[in-house]
Amino acid sequence: MKNTSKRNEGFVVKIVVIVIALVFVKYYFDIDIVEWYNSPSGQKYVGWIWTMIKDFYNFVDTYVRNKFFS
């Protein structure tokens, strides 16, 4: 059996804590995260972040393909 360290177990715990926090916010404060995300203001706020992530991915992808596969 493979031994796991505390470092490897922390990722799952963080995801569970985030999910519990979202449920808590929805239940106690009546704030719907999905509704906010789908609204125009949510798309305006999250859209530029998503664009930056895609641009960074395309930059790294192009760099790696030109550096190692040409």
Convert the pLDDT of each residue in 8-66 to its tens digit. Answer: 667 788 889 988 998 888 888 888 878 888 888 888 888 889 899 999 999 999 988 88
Answer yes or no: is 48 within a domain: yes
pLDDT at 4: 58
Answer yes or no: is 1 within a domain: no
Domain tally, the chain? 1
Answer yes or no: is 59 within a domain: yes
Question: What's the whole-model pTM score?
Answer: 0.46
pLDDT at 70: 64
Structure tokens at 44: 């305006």
Answer yes or no: is 63 within a domain: yes
Distance CA 46, CA 56 (A): 16
pLDDT at 9: 66
Answer yes or no: is 57 within a domain: yes
Answer yes or no: is 50 within a domain: yes
For residues 34 and 27, the answer to whether their CB atoms sit within 8 Å is no
Q: Which domain holds residue 18?
A: 6-68
pLDDT at 52: 93
